[in-house]
Each structure stands twice: as C-alpha cells, then as structure tokens.
Amino acid sequence: MTTTGTGRVAGKKALITGAAGGLGQAMGWMLARQGARVALTDVDLAGVQALAAAINAEVPGSAFAYAHDVADEAAWAYVIEAAVADMGGLSILVNNAGIGGEMKYVETDTIENWRRVQAINIESIMLGCKHAMKHLRASAPASIVNISSVAGLAAAPGMGAYNATKAAVWMYTKTVALEAAKMDWNVRCNSVHPVFIKTPILDPFIAMAGGDEAKAHERLTRGIPMKRIGEPDDVAYCVLYLASDESKFVTGSEFKIDGGMLAQ
C-alpha cells in the first residue's frame, strides 16, 4: 500500500539508522508524517517493529522495519537492497546510529573502546554512503544526512573516541558532498551537530547527578545560551529540511542544533 502524502517530503523514500528510539524515532515520525516512506533500522528489531506499527497505524503503508548492525558491511548491503525493494527506491539516507562509548582519559582509554566507537560512529557512515549511493543517484534529487555532534566541532575531556569519530563524520560528509557535486549526481550530503538532547543518551549524566534529572539538566545547560536541553524534534525538523528539496542548493554544510553554544 502506498502513501499519498502531500507533505514536505511527499513521495520520498528514506532509510534511517538507529531508529528504535531517541532521535531516530523522532526522525521516523517526522518524515513519515511529511509524506515519505521510511525504512527504520536498528539492532533492536523489536523496537523498530513497534515504531513501524505505530507509524503505519497513522500513515498506512509508510513504514518498514529491519534488523541492522551498522558496523557490518554485509548487513548494509542486505538492508539497502531490502529497503529499496520494499519502498520502490531510495532518495534519503539518514545515518543516525551512534554510541557515546566509555568515558576515558588519554592514559586509561582502551583500543577496544576506540575500535567499537569508530566502527559504529564513522565506519558505518562510510558503509551507508557506499552502499546507498547508486540507489540515491537513481532517485535523484537525493539527500544524505549524517548525524554528528557538537562534540565533533568542540572537544571535551574524557571523550577522545567520541570526539574523534564525530569530527570524522563532519569531514567525511564534506568529502561525499564534493564528490557527488563534481560528478553531477544530484545527491547532497550534510551533517547535523546536536548538543544535549532529551534522549536516553543523557542517562549517564543523570546517573552522575545521583539520579536527579533536574540537577543534571542544570549542569548540562550552563554553557548553552538558550538555557535548555534540546528536544528530539529540534533535530528532526533540521533533518526534514535537509531531506527535502527545500535545501536543493545546500551541500557539504554543517548544521548546529546547540542553542547557541558554539556561537560563544
């Protein structure tokens, strides 16, 4: 069953990784409600199946769920082909899956931590772009949105692996954008850099505040001029813009969703 949305991405077909919760879930709802078909992928198959069922209850025939380990190249090849077959193409890729890794300082970090964070945060994005590109070209105009972080633009102690991989996402995005533009593929590629967003990624900070969520939020917002934690929709609306043809002359750019933090 096809959708007949008239929204900002009507007729588009999107694949979103890390879609079982948090930002990925918000993006799935946002794009589906704005007319796209969405392929929702995650290692948590039950999570994306539940999300797809909820979306389909509101927008029938628009959501599909797949088990997906983004660090596995064979999984990427399978999921891309399955999503293309189910949706009838691919015009939007949202590389959202990522992890924070362990909080480690330079003398105590481990190569195992680095390799795990690198595999999920940056190698997965290379694999996604690689396996999706031929389908994006076939469905052009198309868009890739890579989710990085303010931590990829400004460092913080104890987050070496995370900082390095999110910075790599930022620069790799520019490389893909330039290649696609110079090859006249009509595939744009941009990165999104959120600050603290109200998702389970804040749980370690709440734990460090003794389980006091308000106290944790107060600490986290001290450096944010707008004095609040971000909401998932703050990021999802940016992704919607970049996924849509409204941003048809925007590529190789970074979008900070940070309440003014990096303007200081």
Place of tokens 């199946």: 49
Q: Which residues are catalytic?
A: 162
What is the Cα–Cα distance from 236 to 143, expressed in whole angstroms? 15
- Per-residue buried b or exposed e for 87-115, using 16+ beta carbons within 10 Å of the residue's own CB: bebbbbbbbbbbeebbbbeeeebeeebbe
Give which of 78, 16, 92, 20 is closest to 49, Cα–Cα.
20
- Per-residue buried b or exposed e for 6-17, using 16+ beta carbons within 10 Å of the residue's own CB: ebbbebbbbbbb
pLDDT tens, position by position, 222-249? 999 999 999 999 999 999 999 999 999 9
Whole-number average pLDDT of the chain: 96
pLDDT tens, position by position, 105-148? 999 999 999 999 999 999 999 999 999 999 999 999 999 999 99
pLDDT tens, position by position, 107-117? 999 999 999 99
Beta bridge partners of 145: 94, 190
> In this model, does residue 4 exceed pLDDT 50?
no
> In this model, does residue 213 exceed pLDDT 90?
no
Residues 254, 148: contact at Cβ < 8 Å? Answer: yes
What is the Cα–Cα distance from 207 to 257, expressed in whole angstroms? 24
Chain centre to alpha carbon of residue 56: 21
Amino acid at 175: T
Place of tokens 């703050």: 234
3-state secondary structure of 40: strand
Give the per-residue pLDDT at 3. 43
CATH superfamily membership of 13-195+231-257: NAD(P)-binding Rossmann-like Domain (3.40.50.720)
Q: Quote the pTM value.
A: 0.95
What is the Cα–Cα distance from 147 to 254, expressed in whole angstroms? 10
pLDDT band, very low/low/confident/very high, at 5 (cuts 50, 70, 90): low
Residues of the chain with CATH 3.40.50.720: 13-195+231-257
3-state secondary structure of 176: helix
